[in-house]
Amino acid sequence: MWRIVLVLAVWWCSPAVAATPAEKLPEPLARAIRGYGFGTPGLSIYVHEIGASAPLVAFAADEPRHPASVIKLLTTLAALEELGPAYQWKTEVWVSAPVRDGRLEGDLYIKGYGDPYLVIEHFWRLLRLLRQEGIATIAGDLVLDQSYFAPDPEDPADFDGRAHRAYNVLPAALLVNFQAVNFRFIPDRVGNRLRIFAEPWPAQFALENNTRLTRDRCRGGWASHVGIRATQKAGKETMVFSGAYDAACGEHDMFRVVSESVPYIHGVFRALWMEMGGRIEGK
């Protein structure tokens, strides 16, 4: 998809191009494709101005293709028509008992309704509002209500075998921060080490950094020599980093899924809640 967008951007800089037959590319497009070393096999382009009687460009437009991210156009159109452009998702918080002197003598419920952008900043604000409502200690459990969606059973590895990639996270009524952790890699040349930070980091997880910082040039991609594995250590799920990292590669981010949805949300909630000075006694 990136290739098509790039080529179209080049073509729009050439207003003299007119509509062409279905199997013939305009010369500016063909020249741009050749210049970037791209080939036309597997390429389809369709550009149609709204209200016009014919497309501006149609090249292999009727060839069956894997839609990839282009399918987002269809789902976005459906959402706009069904929900409207001003629709807002909601996330509800309920308590099962009164709050007395800052102590909730019961459970705290969080019910999701499909908000796709409940990122860590928004989740932090939600918890901050609970603290402002006077809740300091939760005596009961944290109950996560995912019942608004009833998705079919799926395996996040079905697409490409990479279940830990953030783009393979399955839909959920309560989805926090895309269920992902951002690992930040920062070379420390003075200390001769690679610092690794995780945000957000679920409370029940641990991070072990066994990587070596090298002085070599950045070879074969910054992450090509870094290994990651999950293991159990001292009763905690531990992400172990090993291998070598070239200091010349500079700072980088890596987004990964380290847990299923429910334990991930619980761990992030507990970590943020304790950072705010709160306590939770249940599970």
Q: What percent of the chain has pLDDT over 90?
A: 65
Least confident of 37-51, 100-114, 191-205, 239-253: 37-51
**CB contact at 8 A, 202 and 267:** yes
Q: Is 256 helix (H, G, I), strand (E, B) or coil?
A: strand
Instruction: Name which of 16-20, 37-41, 258-262 the model is least confident about.
Output: 16-20
Give the pairing of strands 226-233 and 236-246. Answer: antiparallel
| DSSP alpha helix (H) spans, 151-208 | none
For residue 10, the model assigns a pLDDT of: 35
Per residue in 218-254, pLDDT (tens digit) is 877 788 889 998 898 888 889 999 999 999 999 999 9
The percent of residues in the chain predicted with pLDDT above 70, rounded, is 92
pLDDT given for residue 114 in this prediction: 93
> What torsion do the CA atoms of 207, 210, 216, 221 make, to the nearest 10 degrees?
-40
| C-alpha distances in Å from residue 264, one per residue of 39, 103, 114, 202, 260 | 43, 25, 17, 6, 6
For residue 217, pLDDT over 90 is answered with no
The yes-or-no verdict on residue 3 having pLDDT over 80 is no
Q: What is the pLDDT of residue 18?
A: 41
How would residue 13 be classed by pLDDT, with cut points 50, 70 and 90? very low
> Strand order of the sheet with strand 181-188?
193-199, 181-188, 252-256
Whether 17 shows a pLDDT value over 50: the answer reads no
Region of poorest pLDDT, from 43-57, 82-96, 173-187: 43-57
Dig out the tokens for 130 from the structure.
């609970």
Q: 204: which residues sit within 8 A by CB, 6+ positions away?
A: 236, 237, 263, 266, 267, 270
Taking the C-alpha atoms of residue 279 and residue 19, their distance in angstroms, rounded to an integer, is 66
Which pLDDT does position 2 carry in this prediction? 31
The pTM is what? Answer: 0.77
Residue 103 contacts by C-beta under 8 Å, 6 or more apart in sequence?
A: 136, 137, 139
Q: Write the pLDDT tens digit of every residue in 85-126.
A: 999 999 999 999 999 999 999 999 999 999 999 999 999 999
Q: What is the pLDDT of residue 8?
A: 39
> Model confidence at 23, in pLDDT bands (50, 70, 90)?
low
For 40-48, what is the mean pLDDT?
86
Q: Which of 114, 164, 109, 174 has its CA nearest to residue 141?
A: 109
Between 280 and 15, name the one with better pLDDT: 280
Alpha helices for the chain (secondary structure H) = 2-12, 27-35, 71-83, 120-132, 261-275
DSSP helix, strand, coil percent of the chain (3-state; round to 5): 25, 30, 45
Output the pLDDT for position 281.
96
